[in-house]
């Protein structure tokens, strides 16, 4: 892999120039990855050719470039004001030269009219105005003519060659003002594309500046703070975040409480309450409390760094429509040049037409045929769509995934942590003891489960904490019965906690327990997991534990159904739990007791029925199914790193409401792309017809082309509005 910084490569047309130059060496254009945000070119599988050969081809494009590592080490030197703004400066100078030439032309025209009158007036343009027009042609075309020559040399006509031919033709006809105007407005068009891409990426560029460069590291030995660069802070270090400060690194709260605004990461508009053991994301804003936190990820591995990295990599996964437009433009431009040539010669040769007039109309066709609006219509829409999604806490890893979301006909959901909150809690306590109340039963259970990391044990701890119960019991001689339960001695009395199966092993189903057993069966059928507690002689009661359905799940499923998207639940849980959750969430299809490979098989089955299928999951066991689905979503906040890396789209706030939003957003992006392409081609077809009927002028063609470019850009930028 070889990486280069290419200066001035900031629009789709320029990427196409570089790509076409390198394709003789790099046979597959998917091996060329462009990051327009940084002006970075990455060439994969570089072992198939020498670096010297590659750089020779790069030099032939006329772009200045350096090895990426050299650029990073000399960034201050290479990023001068002139290099950053050369295109804008040259365009402004060309515009001023054009304006002066026009004013001189107008004043000389008026002077001659006053001097000799209409009869003696010459129509020749003043030499001084021609000089200024020529200056505008040279300065404004500084970037155009070298690319046009390269295009001619490669026998692959592009926009630059088309514009250059139009300029030469206008000069040949003595239309110096029109020639200069073509160059100036084409320069503005390329500036416009560069600006629009930059505007669309503001949401991403802002992320680069969100996280602070330093962190206040707390030293336990000296009880003081040391300011360190974030790159020097290690995992496990304690950092202090004061009110009003940005969080420098991903961490977990170990002391303090505060409200944290994590909108740059998750898209949540309201601050989130943070307390002990809660996660903190680099780049979030600590609003009102002092927080002590333990660093969990290095600066380069933070969630923020991952978002930035994934958005940059999204350039490689180009949208289908973007590739179609690029392919279309490759054939469209030479065909339009051939058509303009035929328009120029056929009427004079076969129909006694005026050569001057038909050469002029051919130039009109060349100008209006310029595919600027067509070429920028799709990439600006895609980048705007990606940026808008990132601003809403939805990380999409490529334009192709953004477009694919509009085609989805079915979505399969994992249960735990996706449809449900992933935090089991005690919903019912059934106490059949004559000795203990509910709080004492919880305290007994907590003493036995102390140190246990099982989710069901955490449900007991959470209930104890919620009810402020003081656990005064001490359990000893604790033993775990794998897959069944746990037992130990409390106050010299054997206490056990276990499953339904373990209950049958410990107790005979006597008449007095039949009603209790019936309650067990009813709770299991409604999707509960059970922790039955007892001693050597009696059953004391049970704790019914269930994972709570996400509050937004029913509304989300309804919204997806309204979009005519079928929904299904895929889970490894038992039939009762699966059907109970599916019913509450209004999911029609339910598949339960699935192993990871079974989920893959079920995804295959859904694809045969619905063609385009998405999968939503959060765990490691979901990764195979996520990879097999046409489009995959991962819960970014509660999900595993494996699931997030595997998925095409990450919901950074775990907000399921983003699912119907992204489907609608994708359809809106697709609709805007279609509008842009339709308008760009329609306006060109209209003016070609006007030119054939001798009703169009170069001025009209220039105005129409600029208007089309402006319209598709601003239409695309509508996607950035929330």
Are residue 50 and residue 102 in the same domain, yes or no?
A: no
Alpha-carbon distance of 504 to 190, in angstroms, equals: 78
pLDDT of residue 231 exceeding 80: yes
Are residue 353 and residue 489 in the same domain, yes or no?
A: no
Q: Write the DSSP symbol of residue 246.
A: B
In a domain, 267, yes or no: yes
Active-site residue, 76 included: no
pLDDT reported for residue 120: 40
Q: Write the DSSP symbol of residue 549.
A: B
Are residue 187 and residue 330 in the same domain, yes or no?
A: yes
CA-nearest of 149, 172, 8 to 89 is: 8
In a domain, 702, yes or no: yes
pLDDT of residue 186 exceeding 50: yes
Mean pLDDT of all residues in 25-32: 65
Q: Specify whether the CB–CB gap between 712 and 376 falls below 8 A.
A: yes
Mean pLDDT of all residues in 336-364: 87
Per-position DSSP letters for 426-491, written without gaps between them: EEEEEE--SS--HHHHHHHHHHHHTT---HHHHHHHHHHHHTT------EEEEEEETTTEEEEEET
pLDDT band at 78 (very low <50, low <70, confident <90, very high): very low
What sign results for the dihedral spanned by CA atoms 376, 382, 386, 389? Answer: positive
Q: Specify whether the CB–CB gap between 676 and 373 falls below 8 A.
A: yes
Over the stretch 437-464, which tens digit does the pLDDT of each residue have? Answer: 999 999 999 999 887 766 678 889 989 9
Are residue 230 and residue 142 in the same domain, yes or no?
A: no
620: tokens are 């490691």
In a domain, 649, yes or no: no
pLDDT reported for residue 116: 47
Selected residue with higher pLDDT from 613 and 500: 613
Are residue 521 and residue 534 in the same domain, yes or no?
A: yes
In a domain, 44, yes or no: yes
Q: How many structural domains is the chain composed of? A: 4
pLDDT reported for residue 121: 42
Domain boundary among the residues 46, 79, 112 is at 79
Are residue 430 and residue 525 in the same domain, yes or no?
A: yes
In a domain, 566, yes or no: no
Show the domain range for 262.
Answer: 212-301
Selected residue with higher pLDDT from 681 and 72: 681
pLDDT reported for residue 346: 92
For residue 333, which phi and psi values (nearest 5 degrees)? Answer: -60, -50
Residue 242: in which H helix or E strand, if any? Answer: none
pLDDT reported for residue 545: 86
pLDDT reported for residue 202: 54
Are residue 35 and residue 107 in the same domain, yes or no?
A: no
pLDDT reported for residue 333: 73
Over the stretch 161-180, which tens digit does the pLDDT of each residue have? Answer: 777 887 888 788 777 887 88
3-state helix, strand, coil in the chain (%, to 5): 55, 15, 25
Marked catalytic residue, from 158, 414, 573, 630: 414
Are residue 278 and residue 321 in the same domain, yes or no?
A: no
pLDDT of residue 505 exceeding 80: yes
Domain boundary among the residues 79, 109, 132 is at 79
Are residue 58 and residue 165 in the same domain, yes or no?
A: no
Q: At what angle do helices 372-391 and 12-22 cross, to 10 degrees?
A: 110
Looking only at Cα atoms, what is the longest distance across the chain?
A: 127
The SS3 assignment for 310 reads helix
Strands 566-570 and 589-591: parallel
Are residue 44 and residue 97 in the same domain, yes or no?
A: no
Domain boundary among the residues 57, 79, 101 is at 79
pLDDT reported for residue 429: 93
- Residue 593, Ramachandran bin (φ over 0: left; ψ between -120 and 50: alpha; else beta): left
In a domain, 391, yes or no: no
In a domain, 183, yes or no: yes
pLDDT band at 311 (very low <50, low <70, confident <90, very high): low
Are residue 292 and residue 357 in the same domain, yes or no?
A: no
CATH number of 506's domain: 3.40.1110.10
564: tokens are 């005519």
Where would I find the H helices in 23-80? Answer: 51-60, 68-73, 75-78
Mean pLDDT of all residues in 62-87: 67
CATH number of 50's domain: 3.30.70.100
pLDDT reported for residue 168: 84
pLDDT of residue 1 exceeding 80: no
Are residue 96 and residue 182 in the same domain, yes or no?
A: yes
pLDDT-above-70 percentage for the chain: 78
In a domain, 341, yes or no: yes
pLDDT of residue 325 exceeding 70: no
Q: Specify whether the CB–CB gap between 626 and 643 falls below 8 A.
A: yes
pLDDT of residue 423 exceeding 60: yes
Q: Specify whether the CB–CB gap between 442 and 464 falls below 8 A.
A: yes
Mean pLDDT of all residues in 554-573: 90
Selected residue with higher pLDDT from 717 and 447: 447
CATH number of 244's domain: 2.70.150.10
């Amino acid at each position: 892999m070889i990486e280069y910084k290419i200066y001035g490569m900031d629009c789709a047309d320029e990427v196409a120039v570089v790509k076409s130059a390198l394709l003789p060496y790099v046979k597959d254009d998917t091996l060329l990855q462009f990051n327009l945000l940084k002006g970075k070119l990455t060439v994969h599988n570089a072992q198939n050719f020498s670096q010297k050969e590659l750089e020779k081809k790069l030099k032939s494009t006329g772009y200045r470039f350096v090895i990426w590592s050299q650029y990073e080490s000399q960034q201050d030197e290479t990023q001068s004001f002139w290099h950053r703004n050369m295109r804008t400066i040259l365009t402004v100078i060309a515009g001023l030269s054009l304006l002066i030439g026009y004013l001189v032309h107008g004043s000389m025209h008026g002077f001659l009219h006053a001097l000799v009158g209409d009869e003696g007036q010459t129509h020749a343009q003043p030499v001084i105005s021609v000089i200024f027009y020529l200056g505008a042609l040279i300065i404004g075309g500084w970037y155009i003519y070298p690319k046009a020559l390269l295009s001619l040399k490669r026998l692959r006509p592009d926009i630059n060659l088309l514009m250059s031919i139009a300029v030469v033709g206008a000069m040949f006809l003595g239309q110096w003002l029109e020639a200069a105007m073509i160059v100036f407005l084409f320069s503005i068009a390329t500036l416009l594309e560069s600006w629009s891409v930059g505007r669309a990426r503001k949401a991403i560029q802002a992320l680069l500046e969100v996280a602070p460069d330093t962190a206040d590291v707390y030293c336990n030995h000296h009880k003081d703070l040391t300011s360190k660069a974030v790159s020097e802070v290690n995992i496990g270090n304690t950092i202090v975040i004061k009110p009003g400060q940005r969080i420098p690194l991903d961490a977990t709260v170990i002391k303090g409480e505060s409200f944290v605004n994590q909108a740059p990461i998750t898209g949540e508009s309201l601050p989130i309450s943070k307390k002990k053991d809660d996660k903190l994301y680099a780049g979030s804003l600590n609003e009102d409390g002092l927080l002590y936190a333990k660093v969990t990820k290095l600066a380069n591995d933070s969630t923020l760094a991952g978002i930035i990295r994934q958005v940059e990599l999204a350039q490689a996964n180009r949208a289908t429509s973007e590739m179609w437009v690029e392919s279309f433009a490759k054939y469209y431009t030479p065909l339009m040049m051939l058509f303009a040539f035929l328009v120029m010669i056929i009427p004079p040769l076969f129909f006694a037409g005026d050569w001057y007039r038909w050469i002029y109309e051919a130039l009109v066709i060349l100008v209006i045929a310029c595919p600027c609006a067509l070429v920028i219509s799709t990439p600006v829409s895609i980048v705007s769509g990606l940026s808008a999604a990132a601003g809403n806490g939805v990380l999409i890893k490529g334009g192709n995934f953004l477009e694919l979301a509009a085609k989805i006909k079915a979505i399969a959901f994992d249960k735990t942590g996706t449809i449900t909150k992933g935090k089991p809690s005690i919903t019912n306590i059934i106490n059949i003891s004559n000795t203990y109340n509910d709080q004492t039963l919880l305290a007994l259970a907590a003493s036995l489960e102390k140190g246990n990391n099982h989710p069901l044990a955490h449900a007991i701890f959470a209930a104890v904490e919620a009810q402020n119960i003081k656990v005064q019991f001490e359990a000893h001689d604790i033993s775990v019965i794998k897959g069944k339960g746990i037992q130990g001695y409390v106050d010299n009395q054997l206490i056990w906690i276990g499953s339904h199966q373990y209950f049958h092993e410990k107790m005979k189903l006597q008449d007095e327990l039949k009603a209790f057993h019936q309650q067990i069966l009813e709770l299991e059928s409604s999707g509960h997991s059970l922790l039955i507690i007892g001693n050597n002689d009696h059953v004391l009661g049970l704790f019914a534990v269930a994972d709570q359905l996400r509050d937004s799940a029913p509304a989300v499923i309804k919204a997806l159904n309204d979009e005519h998207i079928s929904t299904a639940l895929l889970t490894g849980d038992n039939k009762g739990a699966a059907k109970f959750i599916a019913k509450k969430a209004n999911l029609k299809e339910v598949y339960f007791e699935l192993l990871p490979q079974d989920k893959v098989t079920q995804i295959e089955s859904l694809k045969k029925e619905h063609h385009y299928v998405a999968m939503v999951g959060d765990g490691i066991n979901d990764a195979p199914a996520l990879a097999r689905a046409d489009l995959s979503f991962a819960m970014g906040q509660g999900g595993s790193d494996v699931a997030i890396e595997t998925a095409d789209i990450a919901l950074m706030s775990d907000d399921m409401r983003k699912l119907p939003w992204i489907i609608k957003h994708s359809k809106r992006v697709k609709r805007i792309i279609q509008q842009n392409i339709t308008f760009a081609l329609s306006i060109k077809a209209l003016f070609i017809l006007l030119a054939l009927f001798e009703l169009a002028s170069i001025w009209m063609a220039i105005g129409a082309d600029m208007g089309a470019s402006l319209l598709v850009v601003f239409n695309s930028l509508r996607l950035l509005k929330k």
